[in-house]
Structure formats: structure tokens, C-alpha cells
């Protein structure tokens, strides 16, 4: 009788152990492999207002109405701007045309030329001349670059640039494929600006990875900065397979981006644009907000689908197409929204990433397991970037296995301690 009881207890213990392992596995799938938002809800930290009714309601509306009715936006001819035009409008350096906006033009009615006609025309450097340029960087690359990394930065962020050069922006990450890193900057004014400019030119001579145009480097000119990057790719590297635009306070898992998402063994895509997709968002009408969008600049109640400017990826052919589209669309200071408007004019819908946790415009709590399966995470100090990057490189092969073993071991220890106490 005692043997039977002992045998029954052994089988019960084994069953409970297997169930606990299964529970831990489910927990890990949601907690370890999939990064979660920490702090406030992610949509509250974004520079737009989420459309009412929730995501499912937005999807339902998109399924029952035409795309053109959702993509009505401001398009005006953009006059040629002088190199110093950005200092003559607003104190903080926003450059915008003086023409009155016209609301109601949809995607179809604003395509005055065929797409092929647009693409065959010559691309110039635009309204702002280059102060620092690397026109031969793509020509010197062998093979033709698979990926061009455009990184928005400021002159004062020297440490951030140096950290990126040693980590995710190191061109040796994908040397055999062709990988180019470029930092994008405007200029600063005053004595400090002159000192920063001299330091920037010395940095450029050393690293040859900086492009700069003659516009005021301010938050409201981020759109101009991104258009500079698109212009550079269109003029100097039109055969690049893919381009990524990101910021200097980001963590980018370049290896995962290249080998898992873009897959160099496959034929490069065309008209491809992806990132953290923002669908069904409305303009922020709060005048006290940093991301306020005046109705006179953008009267529509919804933005077209766009991707967070903290990190998005697109096929190389789109650099020229988006830049060409921008020539007839009035500048808006929200860079990611503006690029989305250009895509809408081209009738190109951003592709959702295969995993919604790949591109994060918030800070994801670090673990080597999570970071080996994401592409972007936001808000990094240079020292943190160096620390986490080197840790990831040393543990990425077994990161998730070790995490799983640790959690199972801790769960087993707790269970044994509970039995002893009982």
C-alpha cells in the first residue's frame, strides 16, 4: 500500500513539474522574447493623437472606405528656397514656403506626371548646398551597398557618434555585403556654432561619415535633415538595396535587421517601407504640445499611415521617389508624418513588420534574449550603448537558452523550498 502511495505521489510530482515547465514556457514567450513597453502607454509618448475607437475600429473603417478618402492632405508647389531661407521665417529655424495651403487634394489628382517621368528627371542637391559631403563613399564601396544607414544627429553629440561607430554603426558588421554609415547634420549659429563647425570638419576628415547642409539644425527642421539624406542616396548611391533612417540615441540590432528582416540572399524588394507602423492617428491639436499640428498646416482629421521616425527601413528605389514627391508637398515639422504623406502621394502603404515588437520607439528593458530578437530600442546614453552592445555580442548565441535555464532553475528552487517548509 505504501509503495502504491509513493508511486502515485511520484507521478503527481512529475505531472506538476511538466505543467510548471509549460507555464514557464508560455510566460517566457510573452515576457522574455517579446519586448514590452515600460512606463506609460506607448501611444501617449508619440507626437500624434491616437484616433478614437481603438485600433480595431480604425481597421474596420479602413476596410469599409476607400484609401483616398483617408489620405486627404495638403499639397502645394514648393518654391525654391535660398540657402539662408530658414533663418528668415521663425526664430527656431523652421523653413516653410509662403504659399497658402490648399486642402482637399487627394493622392490621385496630385500626380501630374507619370512615375517614370518623375524618376527620369535630374536630382540636384536641393535648396540648401552641402557644407560637408561624401559624394564618393558609395562609389568606393565594393560591392554596391546593401544597406545605407542614415543617422540624424547634432554637432554636440560627439560621444553618441563615437559609440555608434564602435557598435551597431560599425561598417564591419556587414563588410562583405556593403554597409555605409552616414551622420546627418545642419549647421548652428553664433560663436559656439563656429567652434562646433571646426570640430565637425575635423571629425569628418577623420571618419568620412558626415553629411551636412546649410540649414539651421533645429527640431523643426528634422524634415529637411531627412530629405537631405534621401537626396544623398538618390544622387550618390541610387543602387543601394536598402536604406534605414534612425537617430543617434537609438540601439539598432544591425545584424538582425540585415540577416533576419532584409535577407541578402533574396532579391531586393521594391517600393518597400517598414518600421513601427502608425495607422489611424490624428494630428495633435494641443497648442502647448511639442508636437502641435496647426489646422492651417494640416486640416485633415487623420494622418496617412506612417512609421515612427526613430527607425524605419525602405528599399533603395524609394529614396528618389520620396524626395521627388516632397518637391510638391509643403514641409511639415513632424518628419515621420511628412514622409508618410509623401508615401501616400506615391500610393505606397508601409508594410507592417513581421513582428510588431521589432521596431520600438520606446525604451525596452534590456536582456540579451530580448535584444537579440528586436531591431530598435529608444533612449540610450553612449555609455549604455557600449555596455549593452558588447554584452549582446558575447551572449547572443545562447542568450535565450541561458535565460530559460535560469528561470526554470529559480522556479524549481522555489518549489523545493515550499515543499521543505510544508
pLDDT tens string 19-37: 676 666 555 544 444 444 4
Side-by-side strand order, sheet with 242-247: 130-132, 210-216, 179-187, 147-152, 242-247, 306-315, 273-278
pLDDT at 330 over 90: yes
Tell me what the pLDDT averaged over the chain comes to.
Answer: 78
**Residue ranges of domains in the chain:** 42-401
- pLDDT for 49 equals 58
Residue 171 has pLDDT above 50, yes or no: yes
- Asked whether the beta carbons of 220 and 248 are under 8 A apart, the reply is no
For residues 320 and 119, is the Cβ–Cβ distance under 8 A?
yes
Per this entry, what is the length of the chain?
422
With b for 16 or more beta-carbon neighbours within 10 A and e for fewer, the 62-82 pattern comes to: eeeeeeeebbbbbbeebeebe
**Spatial distance between the Cα atoms of 267 and 98, rounded to a whole number of angstroms:** 44
Q: What is the pLDDT of residue 81?
A: 38
Grid cell locating 247: 537617430
Check if the beta carbon of residue 16 is closer than 8 Å to that of residue 419: no
Separation between Cα atoms, residue 362 and residue 408, nearest integer Å: 29
Contact call for residues 365 and 38 (beta carbons, < 8 A): yes
Cα 24 to chain centroid distance, Å, stands at: 32
pLDDT per residue as tens digits for the range 178-233: 999 999 999 999 999 999 999 999 999 999 999 999 999 999 999 999 999 999 99
Tell me which H or E stretch contains 212: strand 210-216
- Alpha carbons within 13 angstroms on the beta-carbon side of residue 312 total 28
For the domain spanning 42-401, the CATH number is: 3.90.550
More confident residue, 357 or 46: 357
Residue 247 to residues 12, 225, 315, Cα–Cα distance (Å): 54, 11, 19
Give pLDDT, residue 342: 98
H or E stretch including 341?
Answer: helix 335-345
- Is the pLDDT at 91 greater than 60? The verdict is no
Query: Is the model more confident about 59 or about 236?
Result: 236
With 0-12 / 13-18 / 19 or more C-beta atoms within 10 angstroms meaning exposed / middle / buried, residue 166 is middle
Closest alpha carbon to 389 in 405, 362, 366: 366
Which of 78-92, 152-166, 289-303 is predicted least confidently? 78-92
Q: For residue 208, give the nearest of 127, 268, 137, 278 by alpha carbon.
A: 137
Output Rg (C-alpha) for the chain, integer angstroms: 25
Position 66 pLDDT exceeds 50 = no
Strand (E) positions, 279-375?
Answer: 281-282, 306-315
Cell of 265: 540572399
* Helix residue spans in 29-74 (DSSP H): 54-64, 67-70
132 phi, psi to nearest 5 deg: -125, 130
pTM, rounded to two decimals: 0.74
Collapse the DSSP code of 308 into the 3-class scheme (helix H, G, I; strand E, B; otherwise coil) and give the result.
strand
CB atoms within 10 A of CB 5: 9
Amino acid at each position: 500500500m505504501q509503495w502504491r502511495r509513493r508511486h502515485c505521489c511520484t507521478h503527481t510530482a512529475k505531472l506538476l513539474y511538466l505543467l510548471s515547465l509549460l507555464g514557464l514556457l508560455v510566460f517566457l514567450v510573452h515576457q522574455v522574447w517579446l519586448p514590452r513597453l515600460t512606463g506609460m502607454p506607448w501611444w501617449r509618448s508619440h507626437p500624434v493623437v491616437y484616433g478614437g475607437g481603438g485600433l480595431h475600429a480604425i481597421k474596420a473603417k479602413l476596410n469599409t472606405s476607400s484609401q483616398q478618402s483617408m489620405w486627404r492632405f495638403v499639397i502645394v508647389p514648393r518654391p525654391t528656397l535660398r540657402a539662408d531661407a530658414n533663418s528668415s521665417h521663425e526664430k527656431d529655424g523652421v523653413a516653410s514656403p509662403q504659399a497658402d495651403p490648399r486642402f482637399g487634394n487627394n493622392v490621385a489628382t496630385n500626380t501630374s506626371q507619370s512615375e517614370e517621368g518623375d524618376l527620369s528627371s535630374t536630382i540636384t542637391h536641393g535648396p540648401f548646398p552641402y557644407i560637408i559631403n561624401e559624394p564618393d563613399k558609395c562609389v568606393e564601396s565594393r560591392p554596391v551597398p546593401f544597406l545605407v544607414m542614415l543617422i540624424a544627429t547634432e554637432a554636440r553629440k560627439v560621444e553618441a557618434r563615437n559609440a555608434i561607430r564602435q557598435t551597431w554603426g560599425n561598417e564591419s558588421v556587414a563588410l562583405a555585403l556593403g554597409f555605409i554609415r552616414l551622420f546627418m547634420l545642419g549647421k548652428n549659429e553664433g560663436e559656439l556654432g563656429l567652434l562646433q563647425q571646426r570640430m565637425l570638419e575635423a571629425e569628418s576628415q577623420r571618419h568620412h561619415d558626415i553629411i551636412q547642409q546649410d540649414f539651421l539644425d533645429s527640431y523643426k527642421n528634422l524634415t529637411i535633415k531627412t530629405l537631405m539624406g534621401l537626396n544623398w542616396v538618390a544622387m550618390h548611391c541610387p543602387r543601394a538595396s536598402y536604406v534605414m533612417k534612425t537617430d543617434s540615441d537609438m540601439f539598432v540590432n544591425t545584424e538582425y535587421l540585415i540577416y533576419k528582416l532584409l535577407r541578402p540572399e533574396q532579391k531586393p524588394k521594391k517600393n518597400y517601407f517598414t518600421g513601427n507602423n502608425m495607422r489611424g492617428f490624428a494630428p495633435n491639436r494641443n497648442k502647448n504640445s511639442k508636437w502641435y499640428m496647426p489646422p492651417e498646416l494640416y486640416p485633415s482629421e487623420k494622418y496617412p499611415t506612417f512609421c515612427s521616425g526613430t527607425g524605419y527601413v525602405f528599399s533603395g528605389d524609394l529614396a528618389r521617389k520620396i524626395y521627388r514627391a516632397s518637391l510638391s508637398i509643403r514641409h511639415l515639422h513632424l518628419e515621420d508624418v511628412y514622409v508618410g504623406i509623401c508615401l501616400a502621394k506615391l500610393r505606397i502603404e508601409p508594410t507592417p513588420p513581421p513582428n510588431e515588437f521589432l521596431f520600438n520607439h520606446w525604451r525596452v528593458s534590456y536582456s540579451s534574449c530580448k535584444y537579440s530578437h528586436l531591431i530598435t530600442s529608444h533612449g540610450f546614453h553612449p555609455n549604455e550603448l557600449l555596455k549593452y552592445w558588447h554584452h549582446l555580442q558575447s551572449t547572443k548565441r545562447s542568450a535565450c537558452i541561458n535565460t530559460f535555464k535560469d528561470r526554470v532553475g529559480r522556479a524549481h528552487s522555489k518549489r523545493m523550498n515550499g515543499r521543505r517548509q510544508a
